[in-house]
Amino acid sequence: MKKYFLSGAIIITVALAGWNISKNNSEKGMSDIALANVEALAQYELPEFGITCGSSGGVCWINNGICFSGEYTYNKCTFVGSTMTRCSSGC
């Protein structure tokens, strides 16, 4: 009786293992909807952009003293090339 029970248990275990391997090999990695979502998200990447430095003030310029124009006093702007700085002047 023990032999029949052990043989049956082994046959069931082997059959379940084979069924599990067969099931895992037949599954797809991602569904079609998931792949479509990935493609849609990848399509809209941020474009490249640049910041143009001003010719006599604005971005890329820094306050470097005082200048006079008529009866008004303004900041004297000096070009530094860094887009993190800003200066405005009436000179």
Residue range 55-88, pLDDT digits in tens? 777 778 888 888 777 788 887 888 887 777 788 7
Looking at residue 20, what DSSP letter applies?
H
Q: Full-prediction pTM beyond 0.85?
A: no
Check if the beta carbon of residue 76 is closer than 8 Å to that of residue 62.
no
pLDDT exceeds 70 at position 52: yes
Chain mean position to CA 85: 26
67 CB-near residues (< 8 Å, 6+ apart): 73, 74, 75, 76, 89, 91
Type of residue numbered 16: L
Pick from 45, 90, 33, 41: nearest CA to 66: 90
The model's pLDDT over 1-49, given as tens digits with 9 standing for 90+, comes to 777 778 888 888 888 887 787 776 665 667 788 778 888 777 776 666 6
Check if the beta carbon of residue 65 is closer than 8 Å to that of residue 76.
yes
